[in-house]
Amino acid sequence: MTAPMPTFPAGFRWGVSTSAYQIEGAATADGRGRSIWDTFAHTPGRIADGSTGDVACDHYHRHREDVALLAGLGVSAYRFSVAWPRVLPTGSGAVVPAGLDFYERLVDDLLAAGIDPVATLFHWDLPQPLQDRGGWLARDTASHFAEYADAVAARLGDRVKLWITLNEPFIHLSLGHGTGAHAPGQALLLDALPVAHHQLLGHGLAVAALRARSTAPVAIANNYSPVVPAGRTDADRAAAAAYHALHNRLCTDPLLGRGYPPGFDPTEVPTGTPAVVRDGDLDVIAAPLDVLGVNYYHPSAVRAGTPDDPLPFELVPLTGHPRTAFDWPVVPDGLRDLLVGLRTEYGDALPPIQVTENGCAYDDVPDTRGRVHDPERIAYLDGHLRAVHAAIAAGVEVTGYFVWSLLDNWEWAEGFTKRFGLTHVDFATQRRTPKSSYTWFRDVVTRPTPDQPA
């Protein structure tokens, strides 16, 4: 690399992230119920390689080894998610203590290793019985989510250091309910907008439940993608503004007290059913947040749709950049622009930010001596960390950064075909091999800072 990595503020939180269905396996252990992802993965044709998360990284049985990997990495935090169907197999009602026992062991092992547990409550694995009652299209799911948050906080509220209610509600809306590429596989386009409202309502109700049980700060993790108009026409610029409103503002404006962006307000959806957005909902949703989690992978390019397009924009490839194995463009400056843009857009209403996911997929293969070299991942992370630093230098309060992910894992509709880990996993043997990016990231996070001598 060129110039040395600049130093980050003392107390900056360094971490890695994972999610339950992508790593745990043990799909029927200890009374775990089924989620929409069990159903979806077991439906032929949905997953690129026909795989499921039944075993994944078998983390449920190997969490000690994985906590040792975290300790070796030197991170100060680990972001994992709690599987709702392990805690409440039908989504509501009676808690299964054995499900919570697993997370309690994990949290205690993390604390013993000096690592802050950061717990996400919903990373897309809705209990199937709730889906059978309408899922996030049904308003009741929001209150069930708050009951579940209460149950988790009752057990872990004294030890979790940061709560994250939802992971990427917009992606769960768009891929799960808009296009159907993800579970539950619904292709409703904009008729899916109530899914955004009910998730955000669930978030707001969960914030209250968490605060009643725990003094730990509360966050939500949103996916953001800076939007570039494909051409210089007014129509392309308008399309870019529309996509920005949908992808970046829909699940942020209401949290920060601004209501829904015009054009994508669930109030306007003609459903013929009782009002989706009811009196008082926006106040619940705007409950003060301690941290905004920002997940960033890449910017998006859009152009104007044709008159018979169902949406007022069309996504096109963003050219002129290197690409990952997922074919996503590598644009580190997009992260700086995004962070600075959030500050510009929301001003003092913006809480401190932690980058809760950032990372890339490459086709990492062990060499003949079993070592895994991933210089592209090191370059990706190096560039993005410099972008975070540049945003801090520009006055944005960023207090943490988490790499996606600790382990190669089960990448949703892509199955095992996309590897995001700092650690290589041989899924036939479950052997874990730290990649060269693991060593690189360890050296970054364990470096002494000026205010914090080694």
Output the known binding site: 22, 123, 167, 297, 404, 411-412
Q: Name the segment binding ligand GBH (CB under 6 A); options: 139-147, 164-172, 194-202, 433-441.
A: 164-172
Helices 59-73 and 436-445 cross at an angle (nearest 10°) of: 50
Query: Is the CB of 132 or the CB of 309 nearer to ligand GBH?
Result: 309
The least distance separating ligand GBH from the CB of residue 147, rounded to whole angstroms, comes to 24
The least distance separating ligand GBH from the CB of residue 302, rounded to whole angstroms, comes to 10
Q: Of 6-45, which residues contact ligand GBH (CB under 6 A)?
A: 19
Q: Which residues are annotated as a binding site for substrate?
A: 22, 123, 167, 297, 404, 411-412
Q: Does 330 bind ligand GBH (CB under 6 A)?
A: no
Cβ neighbors of 389 (< 8 A, separation 6 or more) are 5, 6, 8
Query: Is the CB of 9 or the CB of 180 nearer to ligand GBH?
Result: 180
Contact 289, 220 (CB under 8 A): yes
Q: Of 271-300, which residues contact ligand GBH (CB under 6 A)?
A: 295, 297, 300
Q: Cα separation of 356 and 116, whole Å?
A: 14
Query: Is the CB of 404 or the CB of 440 nearer to ligand GBH?
Result: 404
Query: Is the CB of 109 or the CB of 357 nearer to ligand GBH?
Result: 357
300-303 and 227-229 strand pairing: parallel
Residue 65 known to be catalytic? no
423-426 and 431-434 strand pairing: antiparallel
Q: Which of 24, 147, 168, 314 is catalytic?
A: 168
Query: Is the CB of 272 or the CB of 320 nearer to ligand GBH?
Result: 320
Contact 221, 356 (CB under 8 A): yes
Q: Cα separation of 428 and 304, whole Å?
A: 46
The least distance separating ligand GBH from the CB of residue 174, rounded to whole angstroms, comes to 8
Q: Cα separation of 16 and 260, whole Å?
A: 31
Q: Of 378-407, which residues contact ligand GBH (CB under 6 A)?
A: 404
Contact 67, 407 (CB under 8 A): no
The least distance separating ligand GBH from the CB of residue 272, rounded to whole angstroms, comes to 31
Q: Does 357 bind ligand GBH (CB under 6 A)?
A: yes
Q: Cα separation of 198 and 281, whole Å?
A: 10
Judged by CB under 6 A, which of 168, 253, 374, 382 binds ligand GBH? 168
The least distance separating ligand GBH from the CB of residue 188, rounded to whole angstroms, comes to 17
Phi, then psi, of 12 in degrees rounded to 5: -55, 135
Q: Name the segment binding ligand GBH (CB under 6 A); options: 27-35, 134-142, 165-173, 197-205.
A: 165-173
Query: Is the CB of 37 or the CB of 264 nearer to ligand GBH?
Result: 37
Triad 439, 444, 113: Cα angle to 5°: 75
218-224 and 162-167 strand pairing: parallel
Q: Which residues pair with 79 in a beta bridge?
A: 17, 118
Judged by CB under 6 A, which of 408, 411, 423, 425 binds ligand GBH? 411
Q: DSSP letters along 164-188, please?
A: EEEE-HHHHHIIIIII-SSTT----
Judged by CB under 6 A, which of 41, 77, 171, 406 binds ligand GBH? 171
Site size toward ligand GBH (CB under 6 A) is 14
Cβ neighbors of 308 (< 8 A, separation 6 or more) are none
Q: Does 315 bind ligand GBH (CB under 6 A)?
A: yes
Residue 104's H or E segment, with its range, is: helix 97-112
Query: Is the CB of 95 or the CB of 407 nearer to ligand GBH?
Result: 407
Q: Of 208-247, which residues contact ligand GBH (CB under 6 A)?
A: 223
The least distance separating ligand GBH from the CB of residue 447, rounded to whole angstroms, comes to 27
Residue 414 known to be catalytic? no
Using left for φ > 0, alpha for ψ between -120 and 50, and beta otherwise, residue 197 falls in alpha
The least distance separating ligand GBH from the CB of residue 245, rounded to whole angstroms, comes to 17
The least distance separating ligand GBH from the CB of residue 78, rounded to whole angstroms, comes to 15
Cβ neighbors of 353 (< 8 A, separation 6 or more) are 291, 292, 293, 294, 339, 342, 396, 397, 398, 399
Which residue from 162, 86, 99 is spatially nearest to 125, judged by alpha carbons? Answer: 86
Helices 140-156 and 193-213 cross at an angle (nearest 10°) of: 30
Q: Which of 24, 65, 357, 397 is catalytic?
A: 357
Query: Is the CB of 159 or the CB of 321 nearer to ligand GBH?
Result: 321
Phi, then psi, of 162 in degrees rounded to 5: -155, 130
Q: Which residues bind ligand GBH (CB under 6 A)?
A: 19, 167-168, 171, 223, 295, 297, 300, 315, 328, 357, 404, 411, 420
Active site residues: 168, 357
